[in-house]
Structure formats: structure tokens, C-alpha cells
Amino acid sequence: MSILGNPLTLITSGKPFIRALEAAGTLGVYVPLEGGLEGRYQRRLRGAGYKVLNITARGLGDLSSYLLDVHGVRPPHLGKKNLGREGAVGYRYFVPPVATYEAEVLPKGAKGLVIWMLEGHILSRSELEFLVTLPQTDSRIKVVLEMGGDRQFTWKPLKDILAAA
């Protein structure tokens, strides 16, 4: 027995995780707070042919607009104000949809796009329900949502987590 505990726990294939993600479409994961394991699972996903997009749930606004539609953003004005037609809030820039764009430019032979979203515990119930239905609307997109901490890396389909809440 090594200092790190059971050495076989460090070498995981990730196949049960990938099978669960492909079956459910959206998984809620609980990760150890010291970190490290999520990177291993992301490497396993990339090795299985998925592209992984890391984003955080904080500050996204409307998830459907951010992920699937062209949406406007306003950078902070830093004390400078416009007095013309733009009002006092500054210019609005239009940004392409993150998930749709990434799914369209996937390399040839890729299985799909996995959106790995941090801090999923701050999302509302309706936003979580949207993430559950997202893989059904576009089969190329899968979602992994970090819901909180645990002693080991565990996962459940997000629809099961919603049903329990």
C-alpha cells in the first residue's frame, strides 16, 4: 500500500463516466474540493473524441442566449459615458453563440462537444432544466455540471438530481 492509498484509484479509464454521459446527456458531478480529478476525467473525454469547453456558471445571464443564440454584451464603461444615441450605458457588442459555434467547428471525427460548467450550484431550477434538455435539442452537445464537493468524484444524471430536489 502506497502513501497515496490504493494505487489503482489513480489509474481510472473513465469509461463508466463516459458511458453515463452518453446515456444521460447531462451529468451533475461532485468533485473533491482539493481538485485534480476533474482534469483527469476531462482528459479521458478528450481521449474518447470529445472537445471539452470549460466555462463557469457565474455571470452567464440567460443560458439559452449565451449558449445557442447571438447575444449582446456591454463591457464595463469604466466611468466613461456616452451621451449620444447609445445612452449612458455604453456600446453593445454582439457575440456568437458559444455552444453552437464550438459544435459547428468540431474537428472531423470528433464525437461532440462537452460543456464542463463550474459552480453549477448557483443555477436556478429552470436553468438546470434547460441544461437537461440541451443535449436533446442538439445531439452533438453534452453537459457536465459541477454541483458541489464530495470526498470522491461521483456523478448522477442531472435529471435525477432535479427529481430529488
pLDDT digits (tens, 9 = 90+) for 34-73: 888 888 999 999 999 999 999 999 988 889 999 999 988 8
Q: What is the CA radius of gyration of the chain?
A: 19
Give the global pTM.
0.83
Kindly list the strands in the beta sheet with 26-31, ordered across the sheet, starting from the edge strand earlier in the chain: 50-56, 112-118, 141-149, 26-31, 154-157
Stretches where the chain sits below pLDDT 50 are 1-10
Phi, psi of 50, deg, nearest 5: -100, 150
- pLDDT recorded at residue 8: 45
pLDDT reported for residue 87: 58
